[in-house]
């Protein structure tokens, strides 16, 4: 499994000289990811603070896994925002999966802003012990 993510900013060449649109003000971030691999497959944890299930999309196609999400970080009632580095971030991260992984059995769980993906190995790709006969 290899990481193919990049930080993405709006292209200044396509920005209008008029007031920037909401999409142009947004920044796409690479979420922090922890990856643990064992004989059964890979478990991936991605930090997606402020992301709800409805704003999360996970796709796998042709050996590429893509995570895309939008966070919702509301300002509490009665407070006024004085400064925000990133107001409403988008997250995106891509990974290339080898043929030894069974993409049809990926499990995903989002809890408290942390996405957990379990990507199992195909049964035939798992290590196995070969018994040796004597004689």
18-72: pLDDT as tens digits: 444 444 456 789 999 999 999 899 999 999 999 999 999 999 999 999 999 999 8
Place of tokens 């209008």: 16
Q: What is the pLDDT, as a whole number, of residue 2?
A: 66
115-131: per-residue pLDDT in tens? Answer: 999 999 998 877 788 89
* Mean pLDDT value of segment 6-15: 39
pLDDT tens figures, 102-111:
999 999 999 9
Q: DSSP for 6-27?
A: --B---GGG--SSSPPHHHH--
Other residues' Cβ atoms within 10 Å of the Cβ of residue 31: 21
Domains (ranges, CATH) in the chain? 26-75+85-122 (2.60.40.790)
Percent of the chain whose predicted confidence (pLDDT) is above 70: 80
Task: Give the CA distances from residue 123 to residues 8, 81, 115, 127, 131, in Å, rounded to whole numbers and listed in that order.
Answer: 37, 52, 25, 9, 18
| More confident: 77 or 57 | 57
pLDDT at 1: 66
Contacts of 48 (CB under 8 A, 6+ apart): 31, 56, 69, 71, 91, 110, 113, 114, 115
The rounded distance, in Å, linking the Cα atoms of 68 and 27 is 13
For residue 91, what are its two tokens?
């997250």
């Amino acid at each position: 499994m290899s990481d193919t993510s990049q930080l993405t900013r709006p292209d200044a060449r396509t920005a209008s000289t008029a007031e920037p649109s909401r999409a142009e003000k947004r920044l796409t971030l690479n979420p922090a990811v922890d990856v643990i691999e064992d004989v059964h497959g890979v478990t991936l944890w991605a930090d997606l603070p402020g992301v709800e299930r409805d704003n999360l999309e996970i796709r796998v196609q042709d050996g590429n896994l893509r995570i895309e999400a939008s966070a919702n970080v509301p300002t509490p009632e009665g407070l006024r925002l004085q400064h925000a580095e990133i107001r409403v971030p988008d997250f995106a991260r891509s990974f290339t999966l080898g043929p030894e992984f069974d993409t049809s059995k990926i499990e995903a769980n989002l809890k408290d802003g942390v996405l957990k993906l379990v990507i199992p190995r195909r049964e035939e790709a798992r290590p196995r012990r070969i018994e040796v006969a004597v004689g």
